[in-house]
Chains A and B, each alone.
Chain A
Amino acid sequence: MMQLDFLDDLRRMNVRQLFYQVLNFAMIVSSALMIWKGLMVVTGSESPIVVVLSGSMEPAFHRGDLLFLTNYDNEPIRAGEIVVFKVEGRDIPIVHRVIKVHEKEDGNIKFLTKGDNNNVDDRGLYANGQAWLRRKDVVGRARGFVPFIGIVTIVMNDYPKFKYAVLAGLGLFVLIHRE
C-alpha cells in the first residue's frame, strides 16, 4: 500500500513540480552548509561542534556527547579549561584539560594537557619531541555540553553502510515527497 502511494506521488508530478522538489532539496543542503559556516564565523573555531570520540575525559564526557566550541583569540588559555587541539601526525583532534600554562610577557604561550581519565599527561600523545602545545594547535575550547546526541555520528562512522542507507533514504524522501 505504501509503495503504491509513493508511485502515485511520482506519477502525478509534472516537470514544474519536479523542479520544485529538486530546488527544495538544494535549499535544505545549502542552509545546513550556511548554518555550519555561520557558526564557524561566530565562534571563531574551524569546527564549532564536536562529538566526543574517546573515554579519556570520563566521567565528565562520554563517547557520543556533544561539545560546543569557541576559539576567540583575545581569550587567554588558562589552567583548568578544556581545549580541543590537533597534533601533527594525528587526524582526529583531542579533547583534554589544560594542567600547565607558561605565558611570556608578549602573550606567547605554551601549555600542557591531560585527560581527566588518564594517569599521565599528554606528552606521549604529542608529536615526537614535542613537549608543549602552542596557541596555534588549539582548534577550540569547550563552552557547552549536551549529552548523548552525538552517538548518531558515532554509529554512522562505525557502520558506513548504515550512513549511506540513511542519507539515501532521506534524500529520496525529500525529492519525491509532496505536501
Chain B
Amino acid sequence: MHTFLSRANAVSAFSLSTLAFLTFLCFASTFFLDYTAPVKITAANIVLKNVPEYAVSREKNDLGALRFDLSSDLSDLFNWNTKQLFLYLTAEYETSNNKLNQVVLWDKIIHRSESPLIDLKNQHLKYYFWDDGNGLLGHKNVSLYLSWNIIPIAGTLPLWNGIGSYKVAFPTDYTQGRSY
C-alpha cells in the first residue's frame, strides 16, 4: 500500500495542484486591477522628408522624424504578478489613405528588477516613422501616446494606455538633403 511510488505520486500530485491553485490566485487577484498611470510627452525637432521606402516599394513615402521628452512614474504597475512591462510610444493619425494609422516609434522593456521611473530627454526615435503614402505632409493632428503591455508571471496580457498624449503638427514642406 505505502510503497515508495505511491508516496511519490501523492506528494507530486499534491504539490502540483497546490502550485496550480496558487498560480490561479496570482492571476485572479490582479485581473481586475487598474493599470493606468499619468505620462508626460512632448516632442520637438519635427521634420518631414519624402523618400522611397525600399523595404515596401519604390514609391516615395513620407518619413517623419522627431525628438521627444518622456517622463512617467510606473511603480504602481508593478505588483506580485508583474514580470515586466513592455512600453511603446505610438503615433496615431488618420489620413486620406487610411482611416487609422498606428506606428510604434519607440519601445522599452522594464523588468521588475529595474527602475520603474522614466525620464527621457531629447530622445531619438527607435523605429522609422514611415507613413503609408504621403499623408504626413502638413498633418496637424498626429497624436503621440505611451502604452504598455503587462507581462504577468501567470495570467492575462492586457494593453493599457497612459494618461496624457501630445499632438504633433508636421511642417507643410519637405526637408531637403540629409540633415535632420
Contact = CB atoms under 8 A, between A and B. Distances in A.
Given A59-B109, A100-B104, A116-B109, A80 B157 contact: no
B151 A60 contact: yes
A81 B149 contact: yes
A30 B152 CA distance: 33
A145 B151 contact: yes
Nearest to B130: A100
A42 interface: no
Contacts of B149: 60, 80-82, 97
Interface in A99-138: 99-105, 110, 116, 121, 123, 131-132
B103 A146 contact: no
Interface of B: 23, 55-57, 83-84, 86, 88, 90, 97-104, 107, 109, 111, 127, 132, 147, 149, 151-157, 159
A121 B128 CA distance: 11
Given A59-B84, A80-B90, A123-B55, A101 B100 contact: yes
Given A144-B156, A145-B152, 17 more contacts: A59-B84, A78-B102, A78-B159, A79-B90, A79-B102, A80-B86, A80-B147, A97-B149, A99-B103, A99-B127, A100-B103, A101-B101, A102-B97, A103-B100, A121-B127, A143-B156, A145-B151
Contacts of A82: 149, 157
Given A79-B103, A145-B151, A103 B98 contact: yes
A93 interface: no
Contacts of B90: 79-80
Nearest to A76: B100
Per DSSP, are chain B's interface residues mostly helix, strand or loop, or mixed?
A: strand
Interface of A: 59-60, 78-82, 97, 99-105, 110, 116, 121, 123, 131-132, 142-147
Given A59-B111, A142-B157, A144-B156, A100 B102 contact: yes
Contacts of A123: 55
Contacts of A79: 88, 90, 102-104, 147
Nearest to B131: A102
A164 to B, nearest CB: 22
Nearest to A61: B151
20 contacts: A59-B83, A59-B84, A79-B88, A79-B103, A80-B159, A102-B98, A102-B100, A102-B101, A103-B98, A103-B99, A110-B132, A121-B127, A123-B55, A131-B56, A132-B56, A143-B156, A143-B157, A144-B157, A145-B151, A146-B23
